[in-house]
Structure 1
Amino acid sequence: MGRWEPNARERLVAAAVDLFAEQGYDSTTVSGIAERAGLTKTTFFRHFRDKREVLFAGQELHSRILADAIAAAPPSATPLQAVGEALDALAGSFTDGQQVFAGRLLAVIAANEELRERAAYKSAVLVGAMTEALLKRGAPDAVASLAAELGVRAFHSGFGRWAELDGSLPDLVREAFDEWRAASAALG
């Protein structure tokens, strides 16, 4: 593949996930990722700050999708209904091609403490984006925060299932969200 061909960002992500799975995160270099993608190291740094960020590149987009969907939810929607709308929008933004990488991505993150910490940070950012959007809709702080936490937990549960199973990410996330809602109701 030539350096001028489109989708450099996606090629870098695919190359990074492949290399991290093959040789481990610590043994993979930015130069190796760029070479595998058929690109230069300079091109890598046009898209990502470092090799860790290649795995978390969608954080800003995901935050925006969640916040926008909550803002667009009908005025009568409860905080949990608005979060459900946001989860539907986020899950719908993933492609079938991304499912191929999902399992390897989760395995790479699970095997590296630095990446687990970065994943926790990403989760906190997503919770913050949803909480802020719910607060703008008038939800009380504790309600907004809890609904957002529940939503992110449900998304991660559904994403984990999607990585292991054939199926629709939106359906799996919605199923996980229903389970988390039922679990919270059972708390009494």
Structure 2
Amino acid sequence: MSRWEPNARERLERAALELYGERGFDRTTVAEIARRAGLTERTFFRHFADKREVLFWGETALQDVCVNAVAAAPAGAAPIDALAAALDAAAALLEERRAFARQRQAVVAGNARLQERELIKLASLSAALAAALRGRGVTEPAASLTAEAGMVVFKIAFARWVDEPGQGGLAPLIRDSLAQLRAVAGGEDGRWEGRRDHSYEGRRDHS
């Protein structure tokens, strides 16, 4: 019978992120992660398929909460409003893990293979959202356009959330980005210019 290890997943996750930051993802082994966490390799593989999945194990939960939020939106809600409900649900799920998100993002940004895996994750989420919108009767290409726009909103808000701690919570950043998208899509250039975060734009221009 296997021995129960308290908080094993959290300990392994913390150890992995520390080592990825110190040594790099490619140079870190499962044995080193388990040793740093004070656990065995067998325990590691009870929680994660491989060292990459330490960074991506929450993908299914994120997709599920987003799809469920779209399905639960009021019957008369416009596609963009159903999408907004999904993004709010995603923010609620991620909000308490900001420190993890910042460490994780740094690791992913420094590894081309992990960046590719991240793109696959977002593409899968977009496809799931489009399917959920079609389930509400939204036709194509509107369903896919709405889902893809949602991914852009999410990526921009998420980047601000992890890169700029002073920006506040993820949900307000998502709502701000979504409001700017609505304004641009509606041809309201003046109103969008008035709401633009110039400090953020300046940082991007000089990055």
CA distance in 1, matches of 2:169, 2:57: 22
CA distance in 1, matches of 2:139, 2:188: 20
Shift of 1:137: 0.1
Which protein is bigger by CA-based radius of gyration? Answer: 2
Residue 171 (structure 2) aligns with: 170
- Residue 45 (structure 2) pairs with residue 45 (structure 1): yes
Contact 1:103 1:160 in 2 (8 A): no
CA distance in 2, matches of 1:119, 1:10: 21
Shift of 1:183: 3.6
Shift of 1:187: 10
Root-mean-square deviation (CA), in Å? 1.9
Q: 1:28 to 1:185 in 2, by over 3 A?
A: farther
CA distance in 2, matches of 1:186, 1:78: 18
Give the unaligned 5+ runs of structure 2: 190-207
CA distance in 1, matches of 2:20, 2:183: 37
Residue 17 (structure 2) aligns with: 17
Shift of 1:83: 0.4
Residue 73 (structure 1) aligns with: 73
CA distance in 1, matches of 2:182, 2:14: 34
Taking only the aligned residue pairs, the percentage that are identical comes to 46
> 1:127 corresponds to which letter in structure 2?
S
Contact 2:95 2:169 in 1 (8 A): no
**How many residues are matched?**
185
Kindly provide the CA deviation profile for residues 68-94 of structure 1, in whole angstroms up to 9, marking residues without a partner as x: 000000001111100000100111012
TM-score if structure 2 supplies the norm length? 0.82
CA distance in 2, matches of 1:7, 1:149: 36
Residue 117 (structure 1) aligns with: 116
Higher RCO structure, 1 or 2 (CA under 8 Å, sep 6+): 1
Q: 1:183 to 1:15 in 2, by over 3 A?
A: farther
SS of aligned partner of 2:141: helix
Contact 2:134 2:143 in 1 (8 A): yes
Shift of 1:130: 0.5
Shift of 1:150: 1.2
Shift of 1:32: 1.3
Shift of 1:142: 1.0
Contact 1:66 1:86 in 2 (8 A): yes
CA distance in 1, matches of 2:46, 2:21: 23
CA distance in 2, matches of 1:175, 1:7: 36
Contact 1:162 1:172 in 2 (8 A): yes
CA distance in 1, matches of 2:104, 2:133: 30
Q: 1:27 to 1:139 in 2, by over 3 A?
A: same
SS of aligned partner of 1:141: coil
